[in-house]
Structure 1
Amino acid sequence: MPRLVLIDGSSYLFRAFHALPPLSNADGEPTGVLFGVVNMLRAHLKEQPDYIAFVVDASGPTFRDAMYPEYKANRPPMPDDLRAQIEPLMAIVEALGLPLLRVPGVEADDVIGTLALQAAADGIEVTISTGDKDFAQLVRDDGDGRIALVNTMSGTRMDSVDAVVGKFGVRPDQIVDLLALMGDKVDNVPGVDKCGPKTAAKWLAQYDSLDGVIAHAGEIKGKIGDNLRAVLERLPLSRDLVTIKTDVGLEGGPRTLAQRDRDIEALRQLFTRYGMSQALRELDGDAAAGTSAKDVGNGNGNGSARGAGFVTVPDGGGESPDPALSAPGEYETVLTQARLEHWIQALGEAEGFAFDTETDSLDPLRANLVGISLCVEPGTACYIPLAHDGPGAQAQLDRDAVLAALRPLLADAGKGKVGQHGKYDIHVLRRHGIEVAGYADDTMLESFVLESGRTRHDMDSLAKRYLGYATIPYSEVAGKGSKQIPFSHVAIADATRYAAEDADVTMRLHRVLAPRLAADPGLEGVYRDIEIPLVPVLARVEANGVLIDTGELRRQSADLSKRMLALQQQATELAGRTFNLDSPKQLQALLFDELALPAKLKTPKGQPSTNEEALEAIADLHELPRVILDYRGLAKLRSTYTDKLADMVNPDTGRVHTSYHQAGAATGRLASSDPNLQNIPIRTADGRRIREAFVAAEGRKLVACDYSQIELRIMAHLSQDAALLRAFESGADVHRATAAEVFDKPIDAVDADERRAAKAINFGLMYGMSAFGLARNLGIGRGEAQDYIGLYFSRYPGVRDFMDRTRQQARAQGYVETVFGRRLYLEYIQKGNQAQRAGAERAAINAPMQGTAADIIKRAMVDIQGWLDGQAGRAQMIMQVHDELVFEVDADFVDTLLAEAVERMSSAADLRVPLVVDSGVGDNWEQAH
């Protein structure tokens, strides 16, 4: 299907001016709007639509001014800095070959609306690029065509009726009525006083349309009803003012809006004048390569994994960039011994340096080094190619000789190294015989500690946010898809531009982020004392890996297959016919049409759901849903673990090596992937059986050390509730002690059901569980569950006070903190809809506990690894899973390891209650529990 992109230029002009920091060229001319809008254009041109147009308001009055002379009367005059950028921007748009539309007598909205409907009717898929909510009235994905909205500044997309309802609470055809009721202060469109979006949406849900609201205005009570009745006569006018006109007389239709060839010389002059140095570089590169008009802005037509081209400005939360840190760098290719010695001397004289590696694999434990880049000062960097072997490759320095020359510097603990996600590079260099020491800073972690949940932490995002700099995309130098070449085949000149930039941008980012961390001692402590020391520890744990018994996995897979087949046969007998258990469509027909079971949950499209929650809801009504759930559980275990783990064994080590992610969860908890050790199920016998395949090498044992109820202990520490502190200090079973408090009976009189209820309350409250959730968890009535919660708070008032106090603090400052000062931002605690705020309040309660638990086990890992380094390999840390550490230990060293690990884990934090560590030993992971 052909695609048309209609760009609301007027919207982006004002949004770029007000949202982005002021920038100027060397002559002091304003350029912020130019950078912001041109980058938005770049994003669309990269997608290569069939048709495209840039639409702006023409000067002079429109038909709406005739309808209502006060229309937009409140708008202030256009700022001079914005006015000065309009004509230069129009010149850039024209030179880029984009159709530029300005139609007198109507607004840009009306031109866009007319073209959108024409295109949709003609079978063209339409994307309207805008930040204006009024366009939601045009969204559709039905028999009348496809029209979607995209906001390149926020990255959001709205392409269906459900999406509009989710955003505004009304259908697209009700948007004009919603806007009429609300009014618009910016455009001076009168509405109902004090009527906000929620009230307007509620009225339209009840009465369907503005006409319906007007007809039933007498039924609406209170002051808001009086306000509505006071403006009934003018509401139709307001609706006319906010309705986008879709029948504007235009000279050409959508199919006349193809992009023209660019005017290279005009673009060169404009980019030069307004200081768009990277855009100019890219332009000259495109011209030399002979790229087509549609290749503009997408890295010579190769796409991007990292993003490149025009200089960008920071997105929300960023700061105005230092021009020196956003300027192009000067990069050198090191091909001679003399130049290598020059850089060795520069590194030796510097206090520290940034480094980065280029390899032939994303798996650092299998990657071969292709080259290395180095930077001492921002703006200057080098690339040392070591294994480029593509057609026409130049002669390069010997890899072993280069690494031998760099080894003393990289292994010098007194010389600080800076990286971006440097754990990868540490692995690669260790694989090539260099143990990196003195790893002092990591820009990914600097950003993560500063703003854990508020931004992405990859280099491209950070460069854009903090430097106003767009990095060269990988695909620009290596291609993409089936045409992508290995980095070793990339021309050395291109590889230098790409690789040296990595080291340079890393150093630039460090110069920006380090002072921000230093300004906040609490965050600086988290970074220096927890995250940075953990990097080499995680690298060591990943490199150690865990031995897998592939024969045990094959046996488990065979057993699971037999049981799955038996469940299929049982399901067939229950259904009275054959059907595909893996087909949601067939399950819908069987369960809800043939068997007439109630559909208690629906999909977003209104169909009966067959997900796990939906089947659990009807599992007590018929045997078949339970059989399907059992089948799915076994199928997931087989596909995710017993079949897959054997394929993940590293052929060089015979072990599985997971990857740990420090900058994954905002709370600071580690995540893992390939394989994801955190998700191995432990609540079923089949899930626990998988751990039997994680085994110790001959002559060794596995030791597991697990924090006991650590988050509850942190709750006791933070809340200082006397009864909860007393329960932990006494060493009693805390759930049984809680049951004794809640049910007011001696602890030895508590039965199993009461303990189970207390345990559900203890853990549920930390995760914001409601009475409804507790009732479902325990299989009791909602009223009884609410009574349990009330009893709990009456016996543990300190917990209730802590939760109330934490919510208040979170609303006041927008974040909460762990015991160690890690800051956890809560985006929706002060804004968003009611559900988002409620979710943020639940997170405010849980995040300090989960984050503190994450900090504690990280501190323990650093401490224990420091001790292990002196034990001559008799024990090694091989896994971290939630609150558990797993070690592989010489059989005769187990007692020593246990004593040291338990002691160091127990003393990793000084809480008001003791940290208790459970431990076990076995030939496999399951036995160690």
Structure 2
Amino acid sequence: MKRLVLIDGSSYLYRAFHALPPLSNEAGEPTGALFGVVNMLRAHLKEQPDYIAFVVDAPGPTFRDALYPEYKANRKAMPDELRAQIEPMCEIVQALGFRILRVGGVEADDVIGTLATQGADDGIEVTISTGDKDFAQLVRPGIALVNTMSGSRYDSESSVVDKFGVKPEQIVDFLALMGDSIDNVPGVEKCGPKTAAKWLGEYGTLDAVIAHAGDIKGKIGDNLRAALDRLPLNRELVTIKVDVPLDYRPQDLVLQPRDTEALRRLYARYGFKQALRELEGPAAADEDAAKISVRGTAAGYARGSAATEAVDPALSAPGQYECILDDAQLQAWVAKLQAADAFAFDVETDSLDPMRAQLVGISFAVEPGHGAYLPMGHTYPGVPAQLQRDLVLAAVKPLFADPAKKKIAQHGKYDLHVLRRHGVEVQGYADDTMLESFVYNATATRHDMDSLAKRYLGYETIKYEQVTGKGAKAISFTQVALDDATCYAAEDADVTLRLHRALAPKLAAEPALERVYREIEMPLVPVLERIEANGVLIDADELRRQSADLGKRMLAAQQKATELAGRSFSLDSPKQLGQLLFDELKLPALVKTPSGQPSTNEEALEAIADQHELPRVILEYRGLAKLRSTYTDKLPEMVNPDTGRVHTSYHQAGAATGRLASNDPNLQNIPIRTDDGRRIRDAFIAPPGRRIVSFDYSQIELRIMAHLSEDAGLLRAFESGADIHRATAAEVFGKPLDEVSGNERRAAKAINFGLMYGMSAFGLARNLGIARGEAQDYIALYFSRYPGVRDFMERTRQQARDRGYVETVFGRRLYLENINARNQGLRAGAERAAINAPMQGTAADIIKRAMVDVDGWLAAHRDRALMVLQVHDELVFEVDEAFVDVLRTEVPARMAAAAQLRVPLVVDSGVGENWGQAH
């Protein structure tokens, strides 16, 4: 489908002027607004639309001035600093190849509305690039609004309703009721967006509201009745025309060849160094290079390997912050937050544990370079008087509860926990800079604020240790002086907002990545917060019994090891163990440490376990010790005293593939292949009257392999519903299903899973205990039966080499730093990752989508069922006994519908008094 982008030039010029600090070039000419607009234009060019235009207001009056002479009468004269930037802006726009559109007698909005409607009617996908809310009236299938400065997008009825509380076709009536102070259109006095949306929700249209004006009680009803005469005019003034006579159609708005010399001169004059570097780069030498998408080149990888992104000077300047200590300041900031479309926030606490942390303060920012800290829990001697916590929370609670007001945070799940526990529910959590960075490039940098600020802003943040100290001398944040706390905390909110301003356009320029961010990662944040808050009940007595048993068996293993060695030694000492195994017993050192010394790690002991009994006993001892120290001893100590449950924390920005990580405690690494590991799951229990129910995707990564490879044999094996490993063995060895031996099935299973992780013939031979040549024959036979798998693997490797990354089914991008490395070992590792990452990443995306859908369904049943754990491909619930059957019907259906693959997704389920029984 062809794409058309219509840029509201007037809107962006004003917004950039007021949003950015007063920048200037070396000659002192103002450049702030110009800088913002040029960056926005460059972002749109990267999207490579088929048609694009830059629309501005023509000089002179419009038809609206004739309808209402006071229209826009209260607008202040354009500041000289802004006026000076209009001419160079137009020069740059023209030099970039954009067509500038001006039509007398109407506004730019009307030109955009007409072209957007024509384009959508012609089957063109239209994007209106603007920050003006009035355009929401145009949203329909084929027409979307995008604000590249804030990252917001409205492309459906639901997105408009979520923002404004009314449908696109009601926006005109919505605006007519509220009026527009900027355009001097007086609405109903005291009628804000909530009241307007309420009336339209009840009556449907402005005409119906007018007809029922007598039914509306109170002062607001009187105000409505006083405004009835002017409401029809208001509606005419705020309606965007879609029938302006034009000399061109959307198909005429093709991007023209850029004027490189003019751009070079303009960029140099106004100090746009990054734009100039791009112009002088290899792409500038070839005019057609502007038409080449980074999606098909290694340019996308080059972005990932750079140490620091290009930095917007407006987002890297020092900030100015204030400390809110009295009611007047608080009310002023509440008003500022109420007036903003979005704000960034951050909480300061006395603990890293979100389930126990006490709130010490909150910081806010609504524009880059400015922020405020609202302390309420600093307790050091001589601390200035702070506002009472209850008063503060009552003032900010409505702001956080308003779903129409966008909230932005860095790793905000922690903040949501803390605020919820203090009685503040956060609605409208719209952007998380940690997740923006993670989705944009998971491997480019760490995703903590300090690292992101350095990479994307060129900004050195104040570190936590700088205000609290380190080690034994560290103090709680409650003891940090308010001046220091303000600089640190307000900077956190400010930098969060700046990072969002820097990262949102980058994601907007990559639609597939933005969909992953908007449709998978952001909706998952409140879901994970609920799962973590739910926690899971454990049987501490059962774990203590298991600890005692493990301790006895550790002692027995220690005694056995001493007997085999002929002397006593410490099983926990790698040095003593190495001397015993390799110097005294003369066993071969098959695995070495990075320094070249004989290793005694698990891999090394497994490699020699067939040559002496001692390595096997040591492995048994280590396994028992790890279970005891990590789980059976530790879990009872981690029970939250307030809830009586264990609360893990899920990290979204951990694994590059998108897989969730579980920490404090890690509940995803409990061994499942051993009896002792499975016993630990027996200690995860349901309270009386409830059951544990588990749902697990069956062989999901293999199914994704079948989908991606489109191999006919593999697809057929899954569609048959037979045991996939037995079906594979039957295919590979040319036998009927009922004649496949156990060893043949085991070999097929090893190949099925091994190929996804890049297993070589050597690895398969070791896994199956067969000769390497025989293993190679197995692999060759497999590929002869499943040629689509072989072709998929080679195709994926080549795409990774060309692009520097691979993608999941849903568009998540996984960069591979060493895919073209000269070192064969590094390159081979990257190639293995290239094969596995799309499958593991797609599996991660699928279960995340399923969690969001299931959580939405559970909203009406939270008193009957709780989602308590996510472990790779498994979801675990605590459920009322009477609700188990309903859950076992609904959840598998929703999990199976989380992706439309070429093979069915199958979900297994189990139920029991504990997790072990249910799994």
Which TM-score tier does this pair reach, normalised by the shorter chain? Answer: 0.5 to 0.7
Pick one of 304, 316, 320 that aligns with 1:326.
316
Structure 1 residue ranges without an equivalent (≥5): 1-23, 30-274, 276-313
Residue from 774, 777, 780 that aligns with 2:764 = 774
Deviation at 1:322, TM superposition (A): 2.0
User: What's the counterpart of residue 601 of structure 2?
Assistant: 611
> Following the alignment from structure 2 to structure 1, what is the Cα–Cα distance between the partners of residues 305 and 491?
21
- Contact 2:343–2:407 under 8 Å retained in 1: yes
Question: In the alignment, which residue of structure 1 is the partner of 2:746?
Answer: 756
- How many Å apart are 1:611 and its aligned residue? 1.6
CA contact (8 A) 1:315 1:465 kept: no
2:643 maps to amino acid: T
Indicate conservation of the 8 Å contact 1:542/1:657, yes or no.
yes
Deviations 1:549-585 (A, max 9, x none): 1100100000011111111122222222222211222
Map 1:420-569 → 2, pairs under 5 A: 420-569=410-559
Determine if the alignment matches structure 1 residue 871 to structure 2 residue 857.
no
- Of 605-614 and 841-850, deviating more is 605-614
1:907 is matched with 897
Residue 380 (structure 1) aligns with: 370
The amino acid across from 2:913 in the alignment is D
Taking structure 2 as the reference length, what is the TM-score of the superposition? Answer: 0.67
Instruction: Determine helix, strand or coil for the equivalent of 1:440.
Output: strand
1:740 corresponds in structure 2 to 730
Alignment of 1:811-890 (within 5 A): 811-890=801-880
- Match of residue 642 from structure 2: 652
**Match in the other structure for 1:392:** 382
Letter in 2 for 1:829: I
Residues 725-761 of structure 1, C-alpha deviation per residue, up to 9 Å, x if partnerless?
0011110111000000110111110011100000000
8 Å contact kept, 2:305–2:444 = no
Per-residue CA deviation, residues 481-536 of structure 1 (Å, 9 max, x unaligned), is 22221111111111111100000011111111111111111011000000000000
Deviation for aligned residue 1:593: 2.4
Query: Partners in 1 of 2:646 and 2:896 — Cα distance?
Result: 29
1:710 aligns with 2:713: no
Q: How does 1:592-603 map to 2 (within 5 A)?
A: 592-603=582-593
Q: Report the equivalent of 1:896.
A: 886
TM-score of the superposition, structure 1-length normalised? 0.66
Call closer, same or farther: CA 1:800–1:28 in 2, change over 3 Å: farther
> Hey, what's the Cα distance between the residues in 1 that align with 2:619 and 2:880?
42
Matching residue of 1:692: 682
How many angstroms apart in 2 are the aligned matches of 1:461 and 1:741?
51
In the alignment, does 2:805 pair up with 1:802? no
Query: Could you tell me how far 1:839 is from its partner in structure 2?
Result: 0.8
Equivalent of residue 410 in structure 1, options 400, 407, 412? 400
Q: 1:771 to 1:454 in 2, by over 3 A?
A: same
Which amino acid is 2:439 matched to?
V
Whole-angstrom CA distance in 2 between matches of 1:493 and 1:689: 53
Query: Which residues of 2 match residues 78-477 of structure 1 at below 5 A?
Result: 316=306, 318-477=308-467
Contact 2:349–2:357, Cα closer than 8 Å, also in 1: yes
Aligned 8 A contact 2:538 2:683 in 1: yes
Structure 2 partner of 1:675: 665
Q: Distance in 2 between matches of 1:359 and 1:708?
A: 42
Question: Per-residue deviation at 1:588?
Answer: 2.0
Q: Aligned in 2, Cα 1:492/1:617: closer, same or farther, shift over 3 Å?
A: same
In structure 1, the partner of 2:755 is 765
User: 1:25: Cα distance to partner?
Assistant: 9.9
Counterpart Cα distance in 2 of 1:28 and 1:320 = 23
Which string of whole-angstrom CA distances, capped at 9 and with x for unpartnered residues, describes residues 641-665 of structure 1?
Answer: 1111111111111111111010000
Letter in 2 for 1:339: Q
Partner of residue 917, structure 1 = 907
SS in 1 for 2:869: strand
Letter in 1 for 2:763: G
Instruction: Report the Cα offset of residue 477 of structure 1.
Output: 1.7
Matches of 1:315 and 1:629 in 2, distance apart? 40
Offset at residue 603 of structure 1 (A): 2.7
Stretch moving more, 639-648 or 469-478? 469-478
Rate the CA distance shift 1:26–1:481 in 2: closer, same or farther, 3 A.
farther
Secondary structure of the residue aligned to 2:668 is: helix
SS class of match (1:918):
strand
Give me the whole-angstrom Cα distance separating, in 2, the residues matched to 1:890 and 1:558.
33
2:652 corresponds to which of 654, 662, 670? 662
What's the CA shift string for 1:236-258, capped at 9, x where partnerless? xxxxxxxxxxxxxxxxxxxxxxx
Call closer, same or farther: CA 1:556–1:801 in 2, change over 3 Å.
Answer: same
Distance 2:424 2:502 in 1: 29
SS at match of 2:522: helix
5+ long unaligned stretches in structure 2? 1-22, 29-270, 272-303
Q: Letter of the aligned partner of 2:507 in structure 1?
A: L
**DSSP-derived class of the 1:679 partner:** coil
Give the drift of 1:27.
Answer: 4.7
Q: Are 2:571 and 1:571 aligned?
A: no
Match of 2:180 in 1: none
The whole-number CA distance in structure 2 between the counterparts of 1:686 and 1:791 is: 37
Note the alpha carbon deviations across 1:94-144, whole angstroms, 9 max, x for none: xxxxxxxxxxxxxxxxxxxxxxxxxxxxxxxxxxxxxxxxxxxxxxxxxxx
Q: CA deviation at 1:28?
A: 7.6
How far apart are 1:26 and its partner, in Å? 6.8
Are 1:315 and 1:464, in contact at CA under 8 Å, matched by a contact in 2? no
Give the number of equivalent residue pairs.
Answer: 623
Q: Using the alignment, how far apart are the partners of 2:720 and 2:778 within structure 1?
A: 24
What is residue 85 of structure 2 aligned with on the other side? none
Amino acid at match of 2:918: A
For residues 530 and 601 of structure 1, the distance between their equivalents in structure 2, rounded to whole angstroms, comes to 42
Pairwise CA distance, 1:374: 0.7
The answer on 1:639 being equivalent to 2:634 is no
Which SS does the other structure have where 2:861 is aligned? Answer: coil
Evaluate the alpha carbon distance shift between residue 708 and residue 368 of structure 1 in structure 2; reply closer, same or farther with a 3 A threshold.
same
Q: Is the 8 A contact 1:418 1:441 kept in 2?
A: yes
| Percentage of identical aligned residues | 75
Q: Secondary structure at the residue paired with 1:677?
A: coil
Partner-residue secondary structure (3-state), 2:373: strand
Deviation at 1:317, TM superposition (A): 5.0
CA distance in 1, matches of 2:811, 2:508: 14
* Cα distance change on mapping 1:26 and 1:474 into 2, 3 Å: farther
Whole-Å Cα distance in 2 between the matches of residues 894 and 774 of structure 1?
42
Offset, 1:316:
2.5
What's the counterpart of residue 583 of structure 1? 573
The amino acid of 1:721's aligned partner reads D
Q: What displacement does 1:315 show? A: 9.4
Opposite residue 649 of structure 1, the aligned amino acid is V
Shift, 1:831, TM fit: 2.6
CA contact (8 A) 2:729 2:747 kept: yes
Aligned partner of 2:587: which letter? L
